[in-house]
Structure 1
Amino acid sequence: MSKQNEAHGSVPLHRKLSYSLTDTAGNLLYCVISSYLLYFYTDVFGLSIGVAGTLLLVTRILDAIDAPMWGILIDRTKSKYGQSRPYFLWLCIPFAVFMVLTFTTPDLSETGKIIYACVTYIIAGVLYTGISTPITSILPNLSTNSDERVILNSFRMVGGNVGFFIATTFTLPLVAFFGQGNDQRGFSLTVALFGVLAVIMFLVAFADLREVSAVKTKPIPIRKSFGAIKRNWPWMLVVAANLCYWIGLNVRSSTVIYYFEYNLGSKDLVPLINGLTSLQLISMVLIPFCVKKLSKNTVMIVGLVLAALGQVMILMGSTNLTVIIIGWIIGALGSGFACSLPFAMLSDTVDYGEWKNGIRASGFLTSIGSAFCIKAGSGIGGSVPAWIMGSMGYVAGQSQTASALSGIQFSFIWLPFIVFLIGTIPMFFYKKFERNEHRIQGELAARR
C-alpha cells in the first residue's frame, strides 16, 4: 500500500497494533499513579493524607503547565522519523526510570520525604506528558480519514485498557509477592517490572509506526500555535468534557481502595474490582459501530451517564457484592465510551482549527486536550477526595470514625457521580460542529 493510499485509506493491521502498544505502555505505568499513588503516599511512604493531597494538587498544577509546551515542541519538530514518533524513542527510558523512583522510598525526614516526592512525581509527570502527547498528536498524521481515525483510536484504547488492566489488577498481588510483607520494596520492584515492559512496547511502536499523512506539516511559531485555539469552539467543548471525565475517573480510582478497605472491610477484593474495569473494552470495541448509528457526542453523553449511574448502583448494593459488581461493570462500560471518544474528537478539532484559522497545530491542541486533561484530572481527582477525607477525620492504618467513613463514601460515590454529569453539558453543544466535519475535511482537501 502506497503512503498516499495509506494516508487516505486503511492503515495496515500491524501498525494499528503497534499504535495500540503506545497506550498499553503508557497506562501500564501511569495507571499505577492514578490508582495507587495516594494510598502509597499515605499508607506506605508515611505522609499524612492532608500533605499527600496538597502535594498531588500543587505538583500537578506545576506539571500541567508543561502540556502545551510539549505540544509546541512537537509542532516544531522535524526529523527523519517524523514529527511525533521520535519521542517514543527519546523518552521511554527516562520515563520508566522516574516512575520507578516515584515509587521508591528512601529513608528521609518528613521534610525530605515531601521534597523527594515532589521532585520525582513532577519529573515523572513531565516525562509522561512528553511521551503521551505524541500518542494523540500522531493520530491526525496516521490517516486523514475520519472513520479510520476512529478505528485507530479504538485500537489505541483497547491497548490502553490492557495496560490499565495489568496495572490495576496485578499491582497489589505483585507488591505482596515481591515485598513479602515489605510494601516499600514491593511497590518499587513492581513498577520496575512494568517499566521494562513499557520500554519494550514503546520501542516496538517506534520501529513500526509511520507518519504517512498527506498533510504537509512544518514547524509552527509559538505565537501561532496559540492562534489555533481562537474560535475553535469544538476543541474547547471537547477539552471541558474530557477534563470532567478524568477528574471523575481519578476520584473514583484513587478512593476505591479506601472504600473497600475501610467501608466494606474487603481490601482483598480491590484487584478483582479493578480487573473488572477491563470490561470497558467491550464499549471501546463498539465505538466505531455506535458512532455510525448515533454520533460521537451522543455516545460520549451515554458514556458519562452510565459512568455516573454505576456509582449510584454501587451505593445501592451496600454490602451485596453482586450488586456492587454490576454497578462497577456499568460504570466501566460507560468509561469505555467516555475515555475513548475525546481522543478521536480532538483529531477532528485539529482539522477545524486549520479550517477556521489556517493553523494546523496538532501537537499543541491535542496536548492540552489529552495530556493536560489527564494530568489535571489526576491532580484534582487525587487532592480533592484527600482533603475531604482528611477534613472528616481519616487517619491512615487505623479504624475509622463514622465521620471518616462518610467522607470516604462521599468521595468514592457522589463526587465522581457529580463530575461525570457535569461533563455531559459541553457535549450537548458539540453536536452542531460534528455535523460539519465531512464538509470541513472536503474543503481542506481542496485547499491542499
Structure 2
Amino acid sequence: MTSVVAGHAMEERPATAAAANDRLKPWEKISYGLGDFACGLSWNAVGAFLLYFYTNVALLPAAAVGTLFLLSRLFDAGVDLGVGLMVDRTRTRWGRTRPYFLFTAIPFSILLVLTFTTIDASTGAKLAYAYVTFSLLGILYSFLAVPFSALMPMMTNDHGSRMQLGSARAIGTSISVILATAATMPLVGLLGGGNERTGFALVAALFAVLTLAALLNLFFSCRERHHDEAPRSEAIGPQLRAMVRNRAWMVTFLFCTLNFLRFGCVISVTAFFAIEVMKAPWMIGILLPAVSGTLLLSAFIAPMIFKRTGIRRGCIAALALAIILHLILPWVEAQHILFLSLFLIAAILVSLTMTAIFTMAADAVDYHEWIFGVRNEGLLSSGISLSTKIGMAIGAAIIAYVLGIAGYDPKAVTNGARAAIRWSYYGWPIAIMTLQVAIIAFWPMDGLHERIRKEIAARAG
C-alpha cells in the first residue's frame, strides 16, 4: 500500500524492515567515498595548481586569471541550480542521480586534460582558450557534484549511517587532496622531464583515468533507497524561496561557502608562500596535503566527537582552537618543525568542521521535508555544490588579485609581493574562520534528528 503526503510517496512497512533497507554494504560506503575522490582529485588539482599553471607555465597575467576564476564560477551559479532542478525531475531505470555519473564521466575526464594544456598563441588567444576549457570543466563538474551530494540522503535515512557515509566521503576527499597536492609537482617533474608544460598535461591525463574509473564504480555500486516517486511539477520560484527559508540549509550553505573560500585562498597561495616566504619549496608537499588531507584522520574521530558535542558546539570549539594556532604561526616561521606541527594540529581541527559539512548537507534535506513536506534533494544539493565552487573561485580570485596588485612577477619577486603573500597566508584564513564561528552558532538540527524522523514517518502513516 502506498500513501502520498505533501507530494512525498512512501511505502508503508514496519520500522524493522525500513531499518534493514537502510543498511549499507561495506563496498557501497567505500564506493561513495571513491565518488568524492573522483570529484575531489580533479578539483583539488585545479584549486591547488591552476593559478600556478596559468601564471608560471601559460604565462598569463595574474589579474586576468583572477577575473577568469571569478566570472567562470559566477556563471556556474545558474548551472548548479539548473542541475539541481533537473535531478529533482529525473526518473530513469538507473535512478535519479546515477545517470549523471555515467554520462558525464568521459567528457569531464577529457576536459580535465584540456584545462591543463596550453596552446602556442598570443596572450589573448591563450586567455580565451583558458576561459573556454575552465568554464566547460566547471559546468561538467556541476553535473557530477550536484547529483553526488543529492545521492547521500537517497541512500539512507539513518543519521548514524549518514555519519559513516560522511566519513567515507571525508576519506575520499583526503586521499584526493593528498594525491592532487603532494604528488602533482613531483609527477610533473618526473613525467615532464623538466618541461612543466608537458608534465602538467600528462599528470592531468593520469588523474583523468583515475577519475573515470572511480565515477563508473560509483554508478555501478551505490543504490538509491529514499526519494520522491513523482516527478516535480511545482514552479521554480516557490521552491527557491522555500530553500532559502530552510534554516539548516542556509547555515550549511554559508558555512560551506566560507569553508571553501578559506580553502581556495590557502591552496592557491601555499606554493607561493613556501617558495617565496619560507624559502623551502619542499614544504609544498607537506602544507598543501595538510590543508584538507587531514580529513583522513578527522573522518575517524569526527563521528565520536560530534556524537558527544553536537555539530554546533563541536565546530565552534574546533574553529576557535584553530584560530588561536593560526595567530601563533607567524611567530614560529623560522622553526620549521614547530611551524609544521602547529599547522598540522590546526589543519586537523579545521578538517573536523569539513567532515561535519557532509552530514549537515544531508540533514538539511530532512529538515526541509519536516518543514515543507518535500525533500528536493537535487535543488538543495545544488546549493551546497554551488557554495563550494563560489567559495573556491572567490578564494583563488582574491589571491590572484593580491598578486596582481602587489606586482608579482615570477622572474623578479619583490619584497612587497612577498609581504602580500605572507599576509594572505595568515590573514584570510583567520578572518574567514571567525565568520564561520558566527554562522555555525545558528545550526538548528542538534538533538532534533529522532523527532524529525518520527514526525515525518507519522505523516506518511
1:263 matched to 2:277: yes
**Counterparts of 1:21-420 in structure 2 under 5 Å?**
21-213=34-226, 215-221=227-233, 222-223=235-236, 224-277=238-291, 278-369=293-384, 371-398=385-412, 400-420=413-433
Deviation digits for residues 227-260 of structure 1 (CA, Å, limit 9, x no counterpart): 4315211211111111111101110110000001
Query: Which shows bigger deviation, 333-342 or 23-32?
Result: 333-342
Deviation digits for residues 37-56 of structure 1 (CA, Å, limit 9, x no counterpart): 11111111101111111111
Deviation at 1:310, TM superposition (A): 4.2
Q: Tell me, yes or no, if the aligned pair for 1:97 and 1:195 is still in contact at 8 Å.
A: yes
Unaligned runs of 5+ in 2: 1-14
Q: Tell me, yes or no, if the aligned pair for 1:228 and 1:354 is still in contact at 8 Å.
A: no
Provide closer, same or farther for how the CA distance between residues 394 and 61 of structure 1 changes in structure 2, counting only shifts above 3 A: same
Deviation at 1:306, TM superposition (A): 4.2
TM-score (norm 1): 0.95
Query: Which shows bigger deviation, 335-344 or 25-34?
Result: 335-344
Q: Tell me, yes or no, if the aligned pair for 2:228 and 2:375 is still in contact at 8 Å.
A: no
1:442 matched to 2:448: no
Equivalenced residue count is 443
- AA at the equivalent of 1:330: I
Structure 2 CA distance, aligned partners of 1:7 and 1:361? 24
Deviation at 1:389, TM superposition (A): 2.5
* RMSD of aligned Cα (Å): 1.8
Provide closer, same or farther for how the CA distance between residues 433 and 272 of structure 1 changes in structure 2, counting only shifts above 3 A: closer
Identity of aligned residues (%): 29
Unaligned runs of 5+ in 1: none
Structure 1 partner of 2:10 = none
SS of 2:243 mapped into structure 1:
coil
Deviation at 1:313, TM superposition (A): 3.6
Structure 2 CA distance, aligned partners of 1:96 and 1:311? 37
Structure 2 CA distance, aligned partners of 1:218 and 1:228? 19
Provide closer, same or farther for how the CA distance between residues 4 and 161 of structure 1 changes in structure 2, counting only shifts above 3 A: farther
TM-score (norm 2): 0.92
Structure 2 CA distance, aligned partners of 1:139 and 1:276? 26
Deviation at 1:177, TM superposition (A): 0.7
Deviation at 1:126, TM superposition (A): 1.0
Q: Tell me, yes or no, if the aligned pair for 1:297 and 1:427 is still in contact at 8 Å.
A: yes
The ranges of structure 1 where at least 4 consecutive aligned residues each deviate by more than 6 angstroms after the TM superposition are none
- AA at the equivalent of 2:104: L
Structure 1 CA distance, aligned partners of 2:166 and 2:333? 36
Deviation digits for residues 352-388 of structure 1 (CA, Å, limit 9, x no counterpart): 111211221111111112x111110111000112212
Deviation at 1:6, TM superposition (A): 5.8
